[in-house]
Amino acid sequence: MAEDNLEPQVSTPAGPATTASAWVDETQVHKLSIRALFERTRKGVMAAPAGTLFLAWVVRDTVSLEVILVWMLVNSVPDLFTYFISTHALRKPPPDERLGVWLNWQVFFRALQGLAWGSACVFFHVQGENAFTNDLKVLMVLVAISATTTVNMAPSLRTLTAFNVGVLGVPLIFYAWLGDQQHLDFSLGMVILLGLQSTFGRDAARQFQQGLRELVRNHAISAELERLANTDALTGLANRRCFDETLATEWARARRNAQALAILMVDVDWFKRYNDHYGHPAGDACLAHIGRLLLGTLRRSGDLAARYGGEEFVVIIPGCNTAQAQELAGQLRHRVEAAALPHALALNGTVTISVGVAAMVPTDDHAHELLRQADQALYQAKRNGRNQVQAAV
């Protein structure tokens, strides 16, 4: 379609400009469409009795009460099933692989709703001098019902089409069957209205889908920008900003729960010498490699590794005491040493790290003391000869 060539160009954070559709998860769009359909369906069904009562009021003088009550009963059955399905789907969302099945049920019962509404032209058809006026009133109500559902069912063109075929198709066939000129004119009008509703329905569905895609696209771009704002570009670890926010959050949580919070302060030994000897590109590659080793050492999703600045890294470990933090720090130190990255100016010829460990149960509002202890422990590790783990006393 021609519209496909009108996608705006966006410069993605990952590289050059690409079409905006690259940011859209079509599966997410589909799921949101179905959920919106269920939400609108439930609201529409809840409002349906008003339309039913209005039509009953319109024909009250020409149609017997018994016939009106029978039609209202017929019309209420698919409404109840549709309401039940929509409510159940919203309270207990079906798994992704079952969404299509639930949508098919929605289409089926919406088609029954349309047939029930369209059957009003049969139930309320009368003979005599009031026949034309009565049929015209019924037809006007059915056209209004069809028109109001265009927005309500925009999330699914199939559902909208199934409903409108019933609402307008039954009068089309019934009035054509009657055969007189006035009713044949009505049938011709139904053909025209079905064509218009098909066009309006496609436009409404397309606009709704475009709006959803824009929503998903904006959410994806926002999430990516947020991720980049919290990520160190060199190592892929969290940056200082993310670390500060996470530390404040975890400190407050640990204080509420009276649990320990541990910090590892990590420094690459003799890194200035490494940069001077091998050059800054090699130094960057070394830091990135250590960042990957650091990530690979963490055990839980709640642990956070961040680049603190320069060749320093820091790790937040919630619910961890000093002994457990020391064990994790020892594993990290061993992994870096085992990687055996060449360092000609280091004492043992390879890149190593020093780690300061501190843990405590928070008692005040700020984590300054925890950071100070971890930093002091790191300083002691470096004074003691580097390539070791030192816990705060």
The residues carrying an active-site annotation are 311
CA 102 to chain centre: 19
Q: What angle do CA 364, 368, 369 make, to 5 degrees?
A: 75
Q: State the Cα–Cα distance between residues 28 and 23, nearest whole angstrom.
A: 11
Q: Is the dihedral of CA 211, 212, 218, 219 positive or negative?
A: positive
Which two three-digit tokens encode residue 291? 């960042």
Q: Could you give the CA distance from residue 24 to residue 210 in angstroms, rounded to a whole number?
A: 11
CA 296 to chain centre: 29
